[in-house]
Every structure is written in structure tokens, then in C-alpha cells.
Chain A
């Protein structure tokens, strides 16, 4: 769907993007991660043809990115904004027409969306009369009204209350099910694991990690398990096939320990060692969260 190849973007004082390459497959939800100021917005602006890269290329559906692709992309910028003094219905029809929709078609689709998101009474209101959350909702609708193949969302959940964030999340998932590819940037990791198929991590203008979320997390597995048992607290003499990490957490006669396997051992070895000694309630592998991977990668690279 989207192939970003060796993008370099230089601003007066600093290099915003340095040889960044990405592949976004069709139908994916792709998360663009990175701390503030990493270069996410610069990259997104290049894909939206708001700015052009100094070198490198972007391909959209196999074609070099050009003006005809604008109508197939929907963009929700991080800094939200609409014309304050314009009526909301009229304004959104205008924005949709700029994306190539006819007036009638825009009108029809807008009515559908307003109904769907309980916004019908807003049509004649001016943006400045709406609350911030309502404005965000309206802007989201404006982004997807022309049914783009690629939806680019820059920090889509910032500014939404939890209820509306959930509504928007469901809408994003539904659009994705209907075939839209979604590229969104965020630094909120909890939404990443929930939504994203693939991610790329950008830090200080470089891409430092990318791939499928599942693969990345698997590759960061480090043989750490959680064990919960009941009975008397165990004491270990060093013969066990693992090390204890951190404290034992006890709740009456239930105890939870965090263990790291010794090299070459498996979870079966743990069970074999523990079963004779205690009653095991649970053994679970701890796969690092994206948040942990994110923090680790970012701190690793100075």
C-alpha cells in the first residue's frame, strides 16, 4: 500500500528524518511510534504531500506518490482545527469536496455519519459553539468522509474523553475491517497493542525498530515467567532451574514469583521442579509489553 524508501528531510537546524524506510501493507493498522520530536509528524507530512523529502521516495500502491493520490488519503493532523465561524455541516461538505466528492454525495455521507455518531443536531452550529471533544469528533468525520483507502491519524486519541475515545477506536476498527489501511502515530503504548498489526519506532530521526507487533514482542521474549502457587512460601537453595527476579508477592496463602529461566531450560523443567514441592495455580510467560520495548529501545540509543 505504502512504501517509504530512504527518506531524508533536512530542516534549517536539524535533520528531521534520516534514511527512513517503511512498508505499510494493505489492510494493516500500522502504528508509527516515537517520543515527541522524533520525526513522526515530518514523515506524515511527506506522505500527505504537504512537504517533500530532500531525498528518497514514497510509493502509493506501487505508483510514485503524486497529486492524484490525495483523494485516496484521509488525514487527521495532530493539531486539530476547523474554521471557527463556519457552520459545521457546510464546512465538512467543503472539506469533502476539496477531496473530490460531489456536493450531493458529501451531503448524503455526512448525514449518515452524523446519525451514526449522534451529531445530527450540530449541523447548523458553528465550530466555536461546540466543545473541544465535539470538535474532535467532527474532525474525525471530516477525515474519513471521502472513504479514503489510507487513513492517516496523528495522535488520534488525544483530546477525547474515555467514552468518545472508545467510540472512535471502534470506528477505526470498523473502517479497517471494511478495507481501509490505517497509519497512526502515537506515543500511547496501550492503544498500540490493542490496535496495531505492525509498528515502526522512530527515535531521533532514525527508524530503530519495525515489524509485526507479534514478532517484535516475541523477539523480545526473555524467558521470564510468572508463577503462582498456594501453600507455605517456598525457599530455594540454588538447585532450581531458574532465578527469582524481584520480590515474592503474597496474598494470604497465595504467592506469586517472577522467574527467569536458566539457559537451555524450558517451562516444563520449572513445572517438574515445582510440582513435588507445592500446589501450582498458574504458570505464565511474561512477554514484554510494547511500552517496555519502547522505553528500552529509546533509552538504549543515546
Chain B
């Protein structure tokens, strides 16, 4: 076992010390920070009015012009001009817009606003709101309804809160954050299994092509080498994810302060995370990451051992990655909408698809027995793939210059030592 520790140590240190690893650790949160900042800035620029906008109103209906009220940064002026003259003015000055209200304003798309640049959302929203109110008031007056009474009634602010009936009592079931979390988990697991699984595969190919493999396995058993590599790379993955999570939290806090906009997607994401049983999800994430990684990386290692170079891996990679890809696509499109459907339940129990599928279902509280079954099958699953992979691996690493197919791999499995 001591030797496995040595191998783990080497696999871990050589990867963690690489410049690319250290750069990646900082680049990813930085990227999130930059993206968050960019989104916040863009959002700010496109919705907020920064200087005074004069709106020249050409009102052919005669209903609205006098009732439009100035608000900060928006000033309405009634002009008695032809629409084309008014437009010519707007063309000269980007702070002057022209609102055109034709006589038959009720027709869809009849009311137009012309400006040198695209009109800010805030401006069009404000005009729409005011015009709807004006039109509604007019209608009420036409139907002899006393608008003064209506204005004196305080409007209610009603929202519907989804509540889930559970054994432990009724529970708030706000599904928005759940969907966000479940999709995030599916993407994370999917990426992690892929990235670190193929790192294991590349490591095996490197040892094989550099021919050091024979030196190593004259000192340790092939299984020990495989295990050491898988665990070493797995620890690299955990290190990277922990660093990313910590740095992302820090950088999003910074982003929140710097841009100070409550609409920033990062801040709202953080708010969502706080409403979720974080420890429970994180625990399950770690479990499914580890078991899923062990399950898949063993297969990746077997593939690496069977080929002489990375270009030959395609034919084996396809069937291995199919279930993952399949579940991933289903997860982000269908499963989160129907987390208790038969498909979702089955996918979350079969070990090859469970890491992604169960992470999607998790925020929707799947039954405990399903979670327990899925977890036990994950353990059985990775023990099984490790056993199969080890038997292929020990033959494959010493095999050179042979075009290998699945039949050949099957033969290797049954070789004696």
C-alpha cells in the first residue's frame, strides 16, 4: 500500500505543480468575475438613462399628448409638426426622440418611437406604462366609471407561493432556485467526469508511449499503478474544484461590491444557493463525483492501456461517453422539468447515468430509498468497472503495435496473469 501512496503522490504533485494547473485555478474565477462584471455593465448601460431625453410627441389621436407626464430624465414636449419633420430633428440630436401616435393608435404596432440610437428600455417601458394608464382611464370614463374612486382603492400585491406537502410537514417549494441548482450540478458532474477521466487516460498513454511502464511494473503491480493514478488525478480534481468554489465565492462577493447592482446574475445566483440545503447537496455532489469518477476513470484507464496513441482512442471513447452525454442532454432539457418521471428515476439508479441524473433530481427531494439504492449501486458499479478495467489494463500496457478491437479486449479480460 505504501507504494500506492508514492504513486498517488507523484501523480498529484506533477499535475498540481504544472503552470497550466495554477493558471487554470485563477483564470476560471477571474473569467466568472469578468463575465459577471461585463453583464452588469451592459445591463446598466442598456436599461438606465444617464442623461435627459427629450421626447417630441406627434399625437394625431389627440388623446395622449397632454397627459404624458415628465419623469426624471424624460421630458415630453408636444410638437405640431409633420412626422417627417420631427424625425429629421431626432436624426440630428441623439437626445431627442420622436414619439409618433397615429389616429388609429389601437392597431398593433401603430405607435412608434424614432431615435438616432436604439431607444433605451427604460424609456419605452415608461411610455408604454403611461399610455396604457391613459387609455385605461379614458375607457373607464367612457363607461361612466368613477376613476377617482378606483384610484383611491389600494391595489393588492398578491403572489402565489408553491408549497409542497411532505411527511415532515408542508415545505416551501420554490422551484426556480432548484432548477438552477440541479442544472448547475449536472453540468459540473458531467464536465468533471470528462476532464479528469481523460486526464487518467492521457497519463496511461504517456506511460505506455514513453515505455517507462515496464520499469514501473517491475516494481509495483499494474493494479497498484492504475489505482494510484486514478486516486492521484481524482485528488487533483478535488483540489481544483475546491479552489474554484472558494475563489468564485470570493470573487462574486467582490463583484457584488464593485458593481453594486442587485440584478447582477452572480449575486442572484448566490442568493439562490443560500436558499438550498447546501451541505446536503454538496455532500451528494462529492459522493457522486467520487464514485462516478472512479467508475469512469477506470474505464478511461483501460482505454488508455489498449491504444498506442491518443488518436486511436475514438472507437472506445464513443460507447463509454454515450451514456454520460445522453443523460447530460436529457438533464438540461427534460429531466429537471420531470424529476420524478420513470425515465428520471431509472437514469438516476443505473450507475453509468446516475451521477448526472441523480444530481438533477436531488434538489427536488427524491425518495430516500431511491437515493440509497442509487448510491449503493454506484459503489457496486465502480468496483465492477475497476475490476474489469484492471484485467484489461494489465495486458494492454505491455501490448504495442496491435490494432485492438472490442473482441480483443474481451480476450484480454480472460487472460490468466
Q: Which of A's residues lie within 8 Å of B, judged by CB?
A: 12, 45, 48-52, 54, 67, 70, 73, 75, 77, 79-86, 94-95, 97-99, 139, 142
Contacts and interface: CB of A to CB of B under 8 A. Distances in A.
Interface residues of B, number: 23
Contact of B214 (A12, A77, A83): A77
B10 interface: yes
Contacts of B213: 81
B106 interface: no
Interface in B1-28: 3, 6-7, 10, 14
B50 interface: no
Interface of B: 3, 6-7, 10, 14, 206-207, 210-221, 398, 411, 416-417
Most buried by A among B207, B215, B217, B411: B215
A48 B220 CA distance: 10
A95 to B, nearest CB: 7
Contacts of B416: 52, 54
Contact of A98 (B210, B214, B216, B398): B216
14 contacts: A49-B218, A50-B218, A51-B398, A52-B416, A70-B219, A75-B214, A77-B215, A80-B211, A81-B214, A83-B210, A94-B10, A95-B215, A98-B3, A98-B219
Most buried by A among B14, B218, B219, B411: B218
B342 to A, nearest CB: 45
Nearest to A71: B219
A98 B211 contact: no
A297 B118 CA distance: 94
A81 B398 contact: no
Given A97-B6, A98-B220, A142 B215 contact: yes
Nearest to A94: B10
Contact of B210 (A48, A81, A142): A81
A95 B6 CA distance: 10
B112 to A, nearest CB: 65
Contacts of A86: 14
B210 A12 contact: no
A130 to B, nearest CB: 13
Contacts of B217: 50
Contacts of B417: 51-52
A79 B14 contact: no
A50 B7 CA distance: 18
A97 B219 CA distance: 10
Contacts of B7: 98
Given A81-B212, A82-B212, A48 B14 contact: no
A99 B219 contact: yes
A12 B411 contact: yes
A85 to B, nearest CB: 8
